[in-house]
């Protein structure tokens, strides 16, 4: 385990824990909290926490979505001699080649839109005045050690409440900046976090001046004050500071600080009964917000939005709210992200906030953008409408933001600045909907080209084949096989033709123009090219199943894309230069 509790590094416990407390049984949770606290009072470091789904243990009026495969509570106890300090300069970053599969939102854009509408209707009906709605991003397990991944992420964003726990059936990698509560047996402190903005160069007050974020923060401060009053002495609960701004590498966060003196005889389980889950990740009123969360969210939260922390020797405790937290379990990684929605929220602003909160994670592991390659000729974009429709489809697939009007305006500005010449434009759309355009002068060459057949089957994930993005490891690998050829022709495990790394392919057989079809049953996945789609609509070409052997019966072979149009193929050879097709 690790816990960020020293100025220039992390406390690290080595070796096997002296004791492990873990349960899936709600009836055991309170007793295990008491036992964990007793172990710390006996001089042990105790690390762990509670899942969000443990909430009904303390109050049956707090509904959750059941999770049968994740513990409600887990604590690991260590002897003090097992604990040492790992300085920040000693943290190990992962090599760039170890970047793994991108993080994909498990919630579709359509589901988010529908849920958001229900949220607004519920607020209007007076069910609650704020709700924290979340989703899960998932990535394939990169087969990296979880501790190595934690160090890499912590080096990217050294959040003050970070914690790592190698658990019984999971690994928890928490880069949380939010303090849930700190308690020394007398003084209770909380620091609810509400309000997020991307940092703006030269303007440190963008967040603190935001009326919406300040209103959200005040709502949650009021909720936490009321929760704390259940376990604190009368009139001792005080707001120590409001609207503080914490600056992290990729986001600014608004936080406030509250403290109070606890009543005599209060136990740690009593604090959880009063405070858990933290109001900043539920909404207000808490019970109604949690009811709707259980109905609307598609998966349990597990440790995300629960509590993770350290019980130090002597009994002092400190827990975070596990936001910015990765759970490694079985063959996948899971990361929860969400935001507080009020009547003044907008659907795009909330979704943008979600993606801003994932920026450090994506940049440190695998960031990708939706990609469209367009041709700009004498100040005019070719097939612009078709490209924008495809970009919109891809943005929806990955739950990225896409504002067609803004994109058109950006492209119009680029075109007006380049009225002469022919250019290849790489249009890159990021998760927050921001467009970047890279222009390169383009020289047209209509000479027939050499095509090389790949030496093995294409096995790319369908979503990264059917949609064009900057995440192209399979295509890049095959392109390295070109060995002087213009492009590499791809096929699947059944020997069915797909496309090349850059173009769709058309074969003329028995006088008919044919192109490989997209078919899930046949596992023929390929990019639905803009020119290909136009030619299909015009009945110029027909899609069908084609295999590698069909190259030998082809009268002509062409490559097509909207950038170059029709490109004639002079010859197709395999990896050993054996000719599979030759133009007459």
Tell me the pLDDT tens digit for each residue of 488-519.
999 999 999 999 999 999 999 999 999 999 99
Judge residue 525's burial from the number of C-beta atoms within 10 Å of its C-beta, 0-12 exposed, 13-18 middle, 19 or more buried.
buried
φ, ψ of residue 219 in degrees (nearest 5): -55, -45
Percent of the chain exceeding pLDDT 90 equals 73
As a whole number, mean pLDDT of residues 98-104 equals 82
CA distance 153 to 144: 13
Q: Range with the lowest mean pLDDT among 93-102, 324-333, 337-346?
A: 93-102
Q: Which of 30, 53, 74, 178 is catalytic?
A: 178
| Alpha carbon distance 257, 583 (integer Å) | 75
Active-site residue among 194, 286, 302, 357? 194
* Burial class of residue 13, CB neighbours in 10 A (0-12, 13-18, 19+): buried
3-class secondary-structure state, position 85 = strand
Q: Tokens 């992290």 map to which residue?
A: 248
Q: Please, which residues have CB within 8 angstroms of residue 267's CB and are 6 or more apart in sequence?
A: 34, 37
How far apart CA 497 and CA 374 sit, in angstroms, is 25
Cβ distance 452 to 492 under 8 Å? Answer: no
Q: Which residue has the higher pLDDT, 62 or 108?
A: 62
For the cut 50, the answer to whether the pLDDT of residue 4 exceeds it is: no
Distance CA 439, CA 426 (A): 7
CA triple 223-114-355, angle to 5 deg: 65
For 82, the 3-state DSSP assignment is helix
Question: What pLDDT is recorded for position 393?
Answer: 96
* pTM reported for the whole predicted model: 0.89
pLDDT at 141: 81
What tens digit of pLDDT does each residue of 266-309 get? Answer: 999 999 999 999 998 999 999 999 999 999 999 999 999 999 99
> For 180-194, what is the mean pLDDT?
91
178 in active site: yes
Closest listed residue to residue 172, CA positions, set 19, 2, 361? 2
The H or E element spanning position 390 is helix 384-397
**Cis peptide bond prior to 285, omega within 30° of 0:** yes
Confirm whether 138 is a catalytic residue: no
CA nearest 181: which of 117, 134, 228, 114? 228
Nearest to 151 by CA among 9, 322, 250: 9
Q: pLDDT digits over 337-382, tens only?
A: 999 999 988 999 999 989 989 988 998 898 999 999 999 999 999 9
């Amino acid at each position: 385990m690790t816990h960020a509790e020293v100025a220039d590094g992390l406390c690290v416990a080595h070796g096997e824990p002296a004791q492990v407390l873990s349960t899936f049984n709600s009836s055991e949770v309170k007793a295990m909290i008491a036992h964990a606290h007793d172990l710390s009072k006996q001089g042990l470091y105790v690390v762990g926490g509670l899942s969000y789904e443990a909430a009904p243990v303390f109050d049956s009026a707090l509904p959750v979505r059941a999770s049968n495969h994740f513990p409600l509570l887990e604590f690991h106890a260590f002897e003090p001699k097992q604990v040492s300090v790992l300085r920040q300069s000693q943290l190990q970053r992962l090599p760039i080649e170890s970047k793994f599969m991108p993080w994909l939102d498990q919630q579709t854009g359509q589901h988010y839109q529908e849920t958001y509408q229900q949220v607004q209707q519920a607020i209007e009906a007076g069910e609650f005045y704020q709700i924290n709605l979340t989703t899960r991003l998932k990535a394939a397990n990169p087969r990296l050690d979880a501790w190595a991944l934690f160090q890499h992420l912590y080096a990217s964003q050294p959040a003050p409440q970070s914690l790592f726990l190698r658990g019984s059936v999971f690994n928890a990698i928490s880069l949380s900046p939010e303090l849930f509560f700190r308690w020394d047996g007398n003084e209770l402190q909380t620091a609810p976090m509400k309000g997020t903005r991307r940092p703006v160069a030269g303007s440190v007050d963008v967040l603190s001046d935001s009326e919406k974020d300040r209103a959200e923060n005040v709502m949650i401060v009021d909720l936490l004050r009321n929760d704390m009053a259940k376990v604190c002495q009368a009139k001792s609960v005080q707001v120590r500071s409001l609207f503080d701004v914490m600056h992290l590498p990729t986001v600014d966060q608004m936080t406030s600080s509250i403290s109070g003196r606890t009543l005599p005889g209060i136990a740690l389980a009593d604090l959880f009964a009063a405070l858990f889950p933290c109001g900043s990740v539920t909404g207000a009123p808490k019970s109604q917000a949690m009811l709707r969360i259980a109905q609307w969210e598609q998966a349990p939260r597990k440790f995300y939005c629960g509590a993770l922390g350290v019980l130090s020797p002597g009994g002092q405790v400190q827990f975070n709210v596990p936001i910015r937290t990765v759970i490694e379990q079985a063959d996948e990684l899971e990361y929860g992200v969400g935001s507080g929605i009020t009547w003044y929220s907008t659907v795009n602003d909330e979704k943008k906030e979600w993606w801003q909160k994932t920026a450090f994670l994506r940049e440190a592991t695998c960031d990708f953008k939706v990609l469209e390659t367009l041709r700009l000729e004498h100040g005019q974009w070719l097939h612009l409408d078709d490209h924008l429709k495809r970009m919109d489809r891809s943005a929806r697939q990955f739950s990225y933001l896409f504002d067609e009007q803004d994109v058109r305006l950006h492209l119009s500005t680029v075109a007006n600045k380049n009225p002469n010449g022919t250019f290849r434009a790489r249009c890159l759309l990021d998760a927050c909907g921001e467009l970047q355009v890279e222009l390169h002068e383009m020289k047209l060459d209509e000479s027939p080209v050499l095509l090389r057949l790949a030496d093995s089957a294409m096995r790319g994930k369908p979503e990264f084949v059917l949609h064009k993005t900057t995440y192209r490891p399979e295509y890049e690998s095959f392109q390295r096989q070109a060995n002087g050829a213009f492009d590499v022709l791809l096929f699947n495990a059944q020997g069915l033709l797909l496309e090349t790394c850059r173009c769709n392919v058309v074969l003329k057989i028995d006088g008919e123009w044919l192109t490989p079809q997209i078919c899930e049953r046949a596992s023929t996945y390929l990019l639905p090219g803009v020119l290909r789609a136009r030619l299909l609509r015009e009945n110029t070409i027909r899609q069908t199943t084609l295999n590698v052997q069909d190259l030998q019966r082809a009268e002509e072979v062409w490559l097509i894309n909207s950038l170059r149009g029709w490109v004639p193929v002079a010859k197709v050879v395999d990896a050993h230069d054996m000719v599979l097709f030759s133009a007459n």
